[in-house]
Amino acid sequence: MLVSEELHEIGRPMVAEQLRHPTVAGIARGDLDERVFASWLEQDYLYLLDYARVFARLAWQAPARRVGDLVDLAHSTLHDELDLHRSLAAEFGADLEGAVKGPACAAYTSWLLEAAADYTDGLAALYPCMWGYSTLGTLLADATPADARYRRWIDTYADPGFVELTGMCAEMLDEAEPEPRRAQRLFVEGMRHELAFWDVPDGP
């Protein structure tokens, strides 16, 4: 079994835990308090700026054949995901430019950037975000949120293009041949950060 496949087995119960989280459940139903979603948008905007930096740091270390892939991932983060956040921010009253990292965001991004000092560790650490959101999007693809604005969030992560990028991350991780137990430890830590991130700061 490939390392990425082993991580998927470990990660599925942790995705199920995310699905039960009130923030994710509220997005799926379309009844999440707007203030909570606005705060989440602000935090995720700051997170994604650092996530793009992680891809850039890994590109500097990558084998030549993978440099372009990592640059593409940084580009997709900056232009596809962040464009979604900018458009939703206007509708939900989020202040992206004035946002300050909450504890969960600060802990997660500092951990990711530190892990990215090593190419293989960095790939294992970033994979929970790509795979987790792709899996959430796939599982929520048939949801019909009462507020259609939340459907745009689901569509972004259920999109086949995002699934394809996630698969590319899995390929890079497997090619790097990480030590399985170390990859598992980093993956689980990343998934724990993912769950903690849904505890939105400054909610009602």
* pLDDT at position 70 over 60: yes
pLDDT at res. 204: 44
pLDDT tens-digit readout, 72-103: 999 999 998 999 999 999 999 999 999 999 99
Q: What is the pLDDT of residues 123-153, one digit of tens each?
A: 999 999 999 999 999 999 999 999 999 999 9
Q: Report the pLDDT value the prediction gives residue 194, as an integer from 0 to 100.
A: 98
Of 163, 127, 173, 133, the C-alpha closest to 3 is 173
Q: What percentage of the chain carries pLDDT values higher than 90?
A: 97
Taking CA atoms, 66 is separated from 69, 73, 105, 107, in Å, by 5, 11, 28, 28
Asked if pLDDT for residue 154 goes beyond 80, the answer is yes
The identity of residue 49, as a single letter, is L
- Domain positions in the chain are 3-198
Contact 128/191 with Cβ under 8 angstroms?
Answer: yes
Question: What CATH class has 3-198?
Answer: mainly alpha
Q: Which of 33, 44, 14, 49 is nearest to 197 (CA)?
A: 44
Closest among 86, 111, 114 to 194, alpha carbons compared? 111
Question: Could you read off the pLDDT of 157-197 as tens digits, one per residue?
Answer: 999 999 999 999 999 999 999 999 999 999 999 999 999 99
